[in-house]
Structure 1
């Protein structure tokens, strides 16, 4: 039985066992309310990412990105309940790499103080961190776009969350236990566990799957099919990121406000920076360029958001937007097909953010929530911090890349679990081939011209034999139905 009462001012009063002695603990309801809201804000980022990816792709594969965002979130939710939270945040593990199964099935996850600190109960901390765990593979799995079967992706998600995300989250955020945390690495909201791990996994996926059909030809020289989706996704991500970074303060305090301020500044500057770089080449003020830069700014400021002052956020936006913009050219240099530039935005952006944190981390800002002071970064003459940040980044990069490749090879060899779709499915589109639905049905003129003359009407049949499937071109339709087109 959980013993919970209230204090005179309405805060939650409970008792938990410390060496056999009931010890009183007060949870501030304001802190709890903020983290509840922050959890919902991070949740809204998940479909936001789906819309962002969908808008960037061709219409025939757009729905699969939105579907994937929700399906992957559901898989990770179960994995987190099953053993994910225990592997990442158990408090009784004796090693520095991964947790144990003492909290298997969320056993004992209730009113006790959280792994992140005594300001929150463990149950609330669990659901907040669940949202982080859920969005990370959604970021990575965008690399499957246009050319992968959806069923094996769900198997991959469960395995990847278990043996890639959970260990990295443990060594980064499990206070006093994870090796990077003990070493002194600074990662406020997920530079390594979320962005470097997912961006690097996307690189591994792109290399493993190979290039899409028509890569390097005019066939794939397409514009994003729906820029409005890109903007909508960016708005959801930007909005939700206030909970992503601000909530990582684990309380309603000045540090949370500071994290939200630097998030806003870095995002705005990142968007403008990328847009200016694109204008230099094309003399156009690209909407997609601005949105891509905004995401780069968000990624770069993530590990530093609770450690840096507002002026430093400008540097994160400029350097993050510039580095990620130029990193999109890596796929041409190295010869891999990262359809959505996930490695450039999240892998490179996360590394840049971690490194800049070493320069700009300020012990004064870190104490805005009243916590114990940190040595800070180069601003505080703590020169060794750069080494800590590089070690953390390299470890996350290496672990994610190697284990992701191993998982891909292993799952791909299970009968019926091969990742790559057939050539016919790629031509038709993943939406119709794998889901049987489309993100948007736009009937063609041929569907309405003299149907009494025998013109067949087919919508989203999921078959390459459909005479009027939207996956076919106008010329194909005219060739197949001359009577309808000449009437």
Structure 2
């Protein structure tokens, strides 16, 4: 056991866990005041449900020996109920238990990302049912394709092993996967009441919360990407440096697009640009140099800033720009590995600009669009089936009056019954 690497993975797991409230605040600040608790509840609720699924069969389906050696799905019985995970293997660099906890948060956050696209209009019970089915049918197989490496006597997933595509920390399995799923659910669920081209049904109610959430996500992302090195090493150090670098340039890239297009740069744009950079660098953080990360982040920030406007052109109501940031940002970062990758980086593969030809770019494209197609098609079927059976959407009056009060019997802010302070009695004067 490498105690240093184990300590790094324990710390990285804690950092990734901080991304849960970070995502809840980031999303919560962007919705209307009447919907903020529902958004936070959908985030935390999906994390709780996926955590339970992960222990029972999720980890085994993702990281068990590939059934039939096909690289499609892991053996669900191998680690069922986390059997064998607590065993101390002296030959392992880190305990299997910390790896299982680390990857559990990846699964939970991937599902939680989707809820930002469908705010204000989905039943909470329907969202929880969707989350459980989606993680089982969509996320677990894709995680096996991308994250399960071949080992001694163990067969892993087809994208990482047979295809040889590079995805250091989840550009395909997390961001393209959740972005494509978000688009599919949007098309089944429909637009919010009053959604229109001029800016959506509701404006963000608390931009400081958005900025705080983005900052927590940025902080936690060092564990998300750096922890994917699985060791306390030079690889983890390069990944952390690239993650910071790309996020900085992406924020500036987004703000520049805003300034040129709209005449002003916004705090919402700064927060969104940071997230776009984090998304874009996720698959490529171990494949590019710091200068490459700088270029990749700037491209990712600018492309995502332009992509969020596509919903108005094509008429799909992506409430909090999950498609524009996670799907488009994930595709951008994944494909740019094939362009900006350098053999000097930890992944050790040259892309097009470093004389590597088109081979790596082709592999990246196959991996990215295979995940996109699988996730979109299966998610559409799941959403359609749930809509036909239990119904996905709340009643119009619930949507208009606010889902917080109707679905959770709570309000985030008590604005109708202000408390009155009783005057403090004056102290008695002696004599």
Q: TM-score, normalised by structure 2?
A: 0.92
Q: Deviations over 1:194-253 (max 9, x none)?
A: 000001111111111111011117794643100011011001100000000111110111
In the TM superposition, residue 113 of structure 1 has moved relative to its aligned partner by: 6.0
Q: Which moved more, 1:74-83 or 1:214-223?
A: 214-223
Q: Out of 354, 358, 367, which is 1:383 matched to?
A: 358
Which whole-Å CA distance do the structure 2 matches of 1:389 and 1:58 have between them? 38
Q: Out of 442, 451, 461, which is 2:415 matched to?
A: 442
In the TM superposition, residue 362 of structure 1 has moved relative to its aligned partner by: 2.1
Query: Is 2:179 the partner of 1:199?
Result: yes
Query: Is 2:16 the partner of 1:36?
Result: no
Structure 1 residues 219 and 258: alpha-carbon distance in aligned structure 2, compared to 1, 3 A threshold: closer
Structure 1 residues 391 and 29: alpha-carbon distance in aligned structure 2, compared to 1, 3 A threshold: same
Which whole-Å CA distance do the structure 2 matches of 1:278 and 1:218 have between them? 16
Query: Is 2:337 the partner of 1:364?
Result: no
Query: Is 2:374 the partner of 1:399?
Result: yes
Q: Deviations over 1:264-284 (max 9, x none)?
A: 111111111111211223333
- Residue equivalent to 1:148: 122
- Residue equivalent to 1:426: 399
- Residue equivalent to 2:103: 129
Q: Which runs of 5+ in 2 are unaligned?
A: 151-155, 421-431
In the TM superposition, residue 335 of structure 1 has moved relative to its aligned partner by: 1.1
Query: Is 2:27 the partner of 1:58?
Result: no
In the TM superposition, residue 382 of structure 1 has moved relative to its aligned partner by: 4.6
Would you say how many aligned residue pairs link Structure 1 and Structure 2?
411
Query: Is 2:159 the partner of 1:180?
Result: yes
Ranges of 4+ aligned residues in structure 1 off by more than 6 Å: none
In the TM superposition, residue 286 of structure 1 has moved relative to its aligned partner by: 0.7
For the 8 Å contact 2:257–2:306, the answer to whether it is kept is no
SS in structure 1 opposite 2:94?
strand
For the 8 Å contact 1:363–1:380, the answer to whether it is kept is no
Structure 1 residues 380 and 250: alpha-carbon distance in aligned structure 2, compared to 1, 3 A threshold: farther
Query: Is 2:46 the partner of 1:72?
Result: yes
* Root-mean-square deviation over aligned CA pairs: 1.9
- Residue equivalent to 1:229: 209
In the TM superposition, residue 364 of structure 1 has moved relative to its aligned partner by: 2.4
Normalized per residue, the structure richer in strand is: 1
Which whole-Å CA distance do the structure 2 matches of 1:216 and 1:161 have between them? 32
SS in structure 2 opposite 1:132?
helix
Which whole-Å CA distance do the structure 2 matches of 1:325 and 1:193 have between them? 22
Q: TM-score, normalised by structure 1?
A: 0.81
Query: Is 2:260 the partner of 1:288?
Result: no
Structure 1 or 2, whichever has the larger Rg, is 1
